[in-house]
Amino acid sequence: MFWYNKIQIGDYMNKVIFKISFSSICIALGIILPFLTGQIPEIGSMLLPMHIPVLICGFICGWKYGLLVGLITPLLRSVWFGMPPIYPTAIAMSFELAAYGFISGLLFKIVNKKLNFILSLYSTLILALIIGRIVWGFVRFSIGMIDKTNIFSFELFLSGAVISCWPGIIIQLLIVPILLLTLKKLNLLKNI
């Protein structure tokens, strides 16, 4: 019986080590990928390169890791490279990405038991994107209520959450499922 418990503990530790390592890789990718936009804020806010690793982390590692990766990544990038600006952009992005990681990890675990993989993947991804953008808008609005120099209107929300970033939303809806389906077909997600 002792050897059986030892195997269970070993499997658990392997999963934890994998999740910590994978989360670290996602943070690194979230910090590095925005360099593809040339540090130009307009292009970065249109293509949203930092969002993809956070979403993938949530799907693969679960809500706890996704939430932490989403919370940490924009703040680290802001402190190290000055982009996005810490206030109000990185703070609002931090909450938005934390919501992405949390929702994608939590909902996917629940929905994947009831629906097939592709349907649960897309439904979770779409809900995570919607809820994350609502959280972003709420945080930006709250900042505007506290700091009158950063007033945030509904028009600014629509512009920042949908209109200006629709290419990034399409990229997320294409790349995240393709990456996760590829990992599943390679049997790299079976024990996670």
- Give mean pLDDT in consecutive 10-residue pieces for the chain, a chain of 192 residues: 55 88 96 83 79 96 97 96 90 96 94 87 95 92 84 77 84 94 82 51
Q: Which two tokens stand for residue 183?
A: 């990992």
Quote the CA–CA distance of 173 and 150 in Å, as a whole number: 31
Quote the CA–CA distance of 27 and 79 in Å, as a whole number: 14
How many CB atoms lie under 10 A from the CB of residue 71? 20
Quote the CA–CA distance of 70 and 52 in Å, as a whole number: 10
> In the prediction, which pLDDT does 39 show?
67
> In the prediction, which pLDDT does 145 show?
87
Are 51 and 77 a contacting pair, CB within 8 Å?
Answer: no
> In the prediction, which pLDDT does 2 show?
47
> In the prediction, which pLDDT does 74 show?
96
Quote the CA–CA distance of 16 and 67 in Å, as a whole number: 16
